[in-house]
Amino acid sequence: MGRTPSSDKNGLKKGPWTPEEDQKLIQYIQVHGPGNWRNLPKNAGLQRCGKSCRLRWTNYLRPDIRRGRFSFEEEETIIQLHSVLGNKWSTIAARLPGRTDNEIKNYWNTHIRKRLLRMGIDPVTHSPRLDFLDLSSLFNSTQLNLSNLLGLQALVNPEIFKLANSLLLSHTHENQELLLQNQNFQGPELLLQKLQQNQLLHNQSSISQHNDQLHNQVSEIPNCTPQNVSSSSSQSMQGIMGQYMMNNDQMFQKNVMLPLQNYSYSTSDVSENSIIQSLNNSNNINNNQNSQNFSFDTPLSGAEEEKESYCSNFNNFMKFEIPESLNFDDLL
């Protein structure tokens, strides 16, 4: 476990701790207490740097450390706090007695984060992800019904269309050819302009209102600056989607939660259920439907599967139909 025993240029030992070293450290701290880590190794007869001793003590040897599998409640707490705090592991750990920041960080990276990805949820924003979505396919899809799209009206954040624009522009040669094939389509930039001209503007005040609420919640936690509550002008792809979702709860519920209910729920994985519950809570979704109808029981195996999983979910979210004879100029 850990690293190969070695020593640095000062002759101090590195790598995994031996039981003997642990015992020396414990005995010393039991007598003298923690602190003054610089002198501790020398006084305790350890060939370690003070920092190494401190880490060993705080992450492993401390008597109040709680080891073992994370409980349902702990996992839910982590997800909720992370949705607000981001990677502030020490702050999160402060709310989980007996758990260290390192342990929580590891658990997040090895379990929760992967599970969120598998579910098509961005582990940073805690919102459905756009980065796996091939938006250009929407424009080529015979299922795209732009009259429905336009019917979204005030619910649609223009940032979404900027996102679509940037995605399309940065997309592959294949997609550029695809656009060229549709000679009537003058590019996503124009689409965005036209949409904005047609006053398909997002209700910015609702964003401010919601962000204020979130700020108030976060401010209850000492020394906490909300990370995910940024200005609505953020160009971050994930941030945009996160804000979009967080400020359009009803939209989220209608277009994401309800279609996903078609999935069966696997009771074998309580953790994923906790994620859904936590996300519902952190996004403040007044969800009358039973979100436990989610199922993500497909085995995790790489980016392709993540993409497939996500696109499957997102296709339910954005189910459009497009007439084969669609003329974008006429539309606009």
Partner DNA sequence: AAATGTGGCAACCGCCTGCTA
Partner DNA sequence: TTAGCAGGCGGTTGCCACATT
**Shortest distance, CB of residue 226 to DNA, whole angstroms?**
13
Q: Which helix (H) or strand (E) holds 6?
A: strand 6-7
Positions 103 through 122 that interact with DNA (CB under 7 A): 103, 105-107, 109-111, 114
Give the pair of three-digit tokens for residue 207: 């964003």
Residue 227 touches DNA, criterion: CB under 7 A: no
Residue 225 touches DNA, criterion: CB under 7 A: no
Residue 90 touches DNA, criterion: CB under 7 A: yes
Report DSSP state, residue 18: P
* Three-state SS at 135: coil
- Minimal CA–CA distance to 112: which of 296, 247, 257, 316? 296
Region of residue 272 (left: phi > 0; alpha: psi -120 to 50; beta: else): alpha
Give the pair of three-digit tokens for residue 142: 């015979």
Residue 91 touches DNA, criterion: CB under 7 A: yes
Residue 54 touches DNA, criterion: CB under 7 A: yes
Give how far Cα 194 sits from Cα of 62, 252, 329, Å.
62, 25, 10
Q: Which is nearer to DNA, 13 or 24 (CB)?
A: 13
Positions 275 through 314 that interact with DNA (CB under 7 A): 300, 302
* Cβ-contact 274, 75 below 8 angstroms: yes
**Shortest distance, CB of residue 200 to DNA, whole angstroms?**
36
Per CB under 7 A, the segment of 48-56, 138-146, 267-275, 289-297 that binds DNA is 48-56
- Minimal CA–CA distance to 252: which of 210, 283, 216? 283
Cα Rg, the chain, nearest whole Å: 25
**Shortest distance, CB of residue 172 to DNA, whole angstroms?**
25
Residue 38 touches DNA, criterion: CB under 7 A: yes
Q: What DSSP line would sit under 262-274, residue for residue? A: TSPP-TT-HHHHH
Among 89, 132, 244, 252, binds DNA (CB under 7 A): 89
Per CB under 7 A, the segment of 23-31, 46-54, 179-187, 240-248 that binds DNA is 46-54
Contact positions toward DNA, by CB under 7 A?
Answer: 1-4, 8, 13-17, 35-38, 50-52, 54-56, 58-60, 87-91, 101-103, 105-107, 109-111, 114, 300, 302
